[in-house]
Amino acid sequence: KKREDGPSSCCLLKDMKRIPQCDNKLGRLEFSKTHTVLVDVGIFNVGAGPLPQEGRDVWNSDFVKMPNSQSSHMKTGFTMQTKVRWEVISKQLSSLSKKTTASVNDLEEAIIKYNPKYKSQWSFDALSSLVKANPKGDNYLPKLFPKIAELALRLPELVMKAVPLLKRGHPAAITLSQTQIACLLANAFFCTYPHRNASGPKAEYHNYPSINFTSLFGNWSSRKKQKLRAIMHYFQEVTAKEPTGLVTFERHCLRDTDFSNWRSCNKKMPKLHVASLGTIENEGKGMLQVDFASSWIGGGVLGSGLVQEEILFIINPELIVSRLFTEKLGDKECLIVTGSQQFSNYSGFGDTFQWEGPHEERLNRDEWARLQRQIVAIDALHFKHRSEQFNMINVTRELNKAYCGFKGHRPDEPDIATGNWGCGAFNGDKQLKAVIQLMAAAQAKRGLAFFTFEDESLKQGLQQTHHLLVTERTTVEKLFILLEDYCAAQQASGVRVDLFDFIRINFSPCRSLL
C-alpha cells in the first residue's frame, strides 16, 4: 500500500556532504609497506606527471604473476620447445599491432597461440557478432584491435614494479596511473595473464575473480553486445588519448578492536536523504558511492551479469582491474576505489541495459590527480530463501560489513550514497537492509543519501521511520535489541512481518494506547 507523506526529519540532496567540501590534505604521494605506488613518487611530487616506477618482477604467491615475467614459460610448436611466454605473446601482439585492421579470427588465433589448452573451449562468437553489426561504421572495431594490442605490448615499460595481491585479512593499498590500468586491461582483453584461466578449488587463483576477458567474447546475447560496446568504447578512448590521473585501490579489514558490539552503541540516527528517483552514480556524485558487490569483486562483469555492480564496472572499466589483485572479500572486509573515471553513459538495467554513448567526465581531481569519485564495494549475503536473513548472526554480519565500508579513514569524509543493497540478485529485505545501513552509518558518523530505485512506498516508509527514530532519540543499541525481537517475531510468524510497522508499534510515543 502507498504510504502518505508525513512529517519528515530527512534533509535535501543539496545538504549532503560531497568530496569537494571535505577538508582533507593528502600531502605528498608516498609509498609504504602497505601502500604500493606503481608510479615514480619523486617525479610525481614535483608535478612532472605519472611515470612508471622502476622495479623488478616477482614471481611468487604474494604478487600478480605477470604475462611478461621471465619466470613464465610455455611449451610451443611440434617440438614442444620451452619458451618464455612473453616471447610468444609479444610476437603475436606485435604482428596484430602492425595491421591497419584485424579480424576477430586474427585475434582468436593470436590468443590461442599462448593459451593452446583452450583452443576448443573458448568461443569468440559474441565479439564476432559485434564486429558484424559494425557499430559506428567505418570498420571501427577492426581498426581498434591493433591499437589495443599495441597498448598491451607496452606492459614491460609501463608496469615495472611488481603488483602485490590484496590478500584476505591484510589491509593494503595500490595506487597506479590510469595509463597503467589501461595497459593491464589491454592485457586482460588479450587474455595474457598466466595461471588465471583454470577454475575449481585446486586452481592457484581459485580465491580470485577471473581477469582474462575470454568469458566476455563468447555466448552472444544482447547483454553481451551492450557490455562489449561500452568496453570497446573505453579502449577507443584510452588508445586515442592517454588518461592523465591516478587511481587507488584499498582493501580495508574491520578489526575486532575497531568496533564489535552493536549492543552497546549509543549513537543516534544519522542525517538521511531519501529519493525514489535518481541513481547512486548520478545524484550521489562526490559522495562515497556504494557498489552492491559480490565477494568476488566485479561479480559477473566479464560474464553475462548486468545488475548494479556489473553496470558500474562497465561504465567505469578501470574498476575491472581490481579483479587482477583483489582476493575474495571476507565478512569484515571491503574495497575502496578512489579516482576511477566514468567513460560511458547507459540506460536500463539487466536485460534492458543499453550503452548510451560517451560520458563527459566533469569531476575535478584531488592532490594525487585522482578524480573525485570514491566507490566502496561491500558484498551483502546472498539469501537463497528470504527467511534466512531474519536471524541475528546474519544481521550482525551485514551490520559489520556495512560498517566496514562506511567507516571513515580521514578526518573529514563525505556522506554515503546507497540504496537497496543486497535486495535484488541477493534477495534481501529492503526495509531490514535500510535499517541496517542506517545503523552502520550512525556508528560511522556519516549521513546517508538513499536511492530507492523508484520504490515510492519504501521512500515514504523510510522517511517516516527515520522521523520516528529521530524524534524518539533512538540509539543504535535500542534498534539492535528491537531487531532481535523482530527476528524472533518473523521466525515465529512464518509470514512477512513489516519491519517499519514493527518499529512504529514498538517505538511510537503512544504505543501504550495501541
Active site (catalytic) residues: 291, 309-310
Query: Is the dihedral angle over the CA atoms 222, 225, 229, 230 positive or is it negative?
Result: positive
- Round to whole Å and give the CA distance between 335 and 41: 23
The answer to the question of residue 292 lying near ligand AR6 (CB under 6 A) is yes
The answer to the question of residue 327 lying near ligand AR6 (CB under 6 A) is no
Residue closer to ligand AR6 (CB basis): 239 or 304: 304
The answer to the question of residue 447 lying near ligand AR6 (CB under 6 A) is no
Q: Which of 317, 309, 458 is nearest to 379 (CA)?
A: 309
The answer to the question of residue 286 lying near ligand AR6 (CB under 6 A) is no
Site for ligand AR6 in 336-395 (CB under 6 A): 380
- Which regions of 111-188 does DSSP assign to beta strands (E)? 172-177
Number of residues that bind ligand AR6 (CB under 6 A): 24
The answer to the question of residue 423 lying near ligand AR6 (CB under 6 A) is yes
The answer to the question of residue 44 lying near ligand AR6 (CB under 6 A) is no
- Round to whole Å and give the CA distance between 491 and 398: 18
What does the block give as the cell for 259? Answer: 568496533
**Residue labelled with grid coordinates 606485435:** 94
Q: At what angle do helices 85-97 and 140-153 cross, to 10 degrees?
A: 140
What does the block give as the cell for 100? Answer: 591497419
The answer to the question of residue 448 lying near ligand AR6 (CB under 6 A) is no
Amino acid at 48: A
Q: Which of 306, 309, 328 is nearest to 210 (CA)?
A: 328
> 3-state class of 155 per DSSP?
helix
**Residue labelled with grid coordinates 569468440:** 124
- Round to whole Å and give the CA distance between 203 and 111: 21
Residue closer to ligand AR6 (CB basis): 325 or 453: 453
> With CB under 6 A as the contact rule, which of the stretches 12-20, 22-30, 301-309, 315-323 interacts with ligand AR6?
301-309
> With CB under 6 A as the contact rule, which of the stretches 66-74, 147-155, 159-167, 279-287 interacts with ligand AR6?
279-287
Torsion of Cα atoms, 174 then 179 then 184 then 187, to 10°: 180
**Among 208, 217, 451, 500, contact with ligand AR6 (rule: CB under 6 A):** 451
Residue closer to ligand AR6 (CB basis): 94 or 282: 282
> With CB under 6 A as the contact rule, which of the stretches 77-85, 127-135, 304-312, 390-398 interacts with ligand AR6?
304-312
- Which regions of 435-501 does DSSP assign to beta strands (E)? 448-451
> With CB under 6 A as the contact rule, which of the stretches 87-95, 267-275, 294-302, 386-394 interacts with ligand AR6?
294-302
Instruction: Give the per-residue contact string, 55-94, with ligand AR6 (x = CB under 6 A; - = no).
Output: ----------------------------------------
C-beta separation of 214 from 118 below 8 A: yes
> With CB under 6 A as the contact rule, which of the stretches 50-58, 67-75, 112-120, 277-285 interacts with ligand AR6?
277-285
Tell me phi and psi for residue 244, to 5 degrees: -110, -5
**Among 29, 183, 272, 280, contact with ligand AR6 (rule: CB under 6 A):** 280
**Among 36, 192, 212, 308, contact with ligand AR6 (rule: CB under 6 A):** 308
Footprint on this chain of ligand AR6 (rule: CB under 6 A): 279-281, 292-294, 299-300, 305, 307-310, 380, 419-426, 451, 453
